[in-house]
C-alpha cells in the first residue's frame, strides 16, 4: 500500500493560492495512483463532504466536487466523508 499524506492549504481561501494547492494535491494523487494498485490518501483537505456544511468547503473552487471526482479517478473510498464538521480525511482502496 502506498500512503500519500497531504495538507491542502487555503491561505484564508484566497485565490489563486487555494485553487493551486488543491490542483497540486489532485495532480499528485493521480500521478501516484498510476504507480500503485493500493493508494491511501490522508490529510487535511479543508473540505467537508456533507452537502449542508457549506462553511467547510474551499469557497469558489468547488473543492468538494473535485475531490469526489478524484475518488473516482483513483478508485478510492472516501472513508471519512460522513463525519460532521470534519475537514481531515482518509481515502482507502
The string of pLDDT tens digits covering residues 17-52 is 999 999 999 999 999 999 999 999 999 999 999 999
Count of the separate structural domains present in the chain: 1
pLDDT in tens, 67-76: 999 999 999 9
* Coil/strand/helix, residue 57: coil
Give the mean pLDDT of 51-70.
Answer: 93
Place of cell 470534519: 86
Distance, in Å, from the CA atom of 8 to the CA atom of 18, rounded to the nearest integer, reads 7
Domain limits for position 37: 2-92
pLDDT category, 11, cuts 50, 70, 90? confident
pLDDT at res. 91: 99
pTM (global) more than 0.95: no
CATH code, domain with 7: 3.30.110
**Residue 17 CA: distances (Å) to CA of 13, 34, 85, 87:** 8, 26, 23, 18
Distance, in Å, from the CA atom of 56 to the CA atom of 50, rounded to the nearest integer, reads 9
Distance, in Å, from the CA atom of 77 to the CA atom of 21, rounded to the nearest integer, reads 22
The mean of the pLDDT values for the chain is 95
Please count the other Cβ atoms lying within 10 Å of the Cβ belonging to residue 57.
22
Amino acid at each position: 500500500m502506498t500512503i500519500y499524506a497531504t495538507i491542502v492549504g487555503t491561505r484564508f481561501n484566497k485565490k489563486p493560492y487555494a485553487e493551486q494547492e488543491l490542483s497540486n494535491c489532485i495532480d499528485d494523487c493521480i500521478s501516484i495512483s498510476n504507480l500503485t494498485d493500493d493508494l491511501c490518501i490522508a490529510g487535511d483537505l479543508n473540505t467537508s463532504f456533507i452537502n449542508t456544511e457549506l462553511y467547510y468547503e474551499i469557497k469558489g473552487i468547488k473543492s468538494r466536487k473535485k475531490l469526489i471526482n478524484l475518488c473516482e479517478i483513483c478508485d478510492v473510498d472516501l472513508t471519512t466523508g460522513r463525519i460532521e464538521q470534519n475537514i481531515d480525511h482518509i481515502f482507502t482502496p
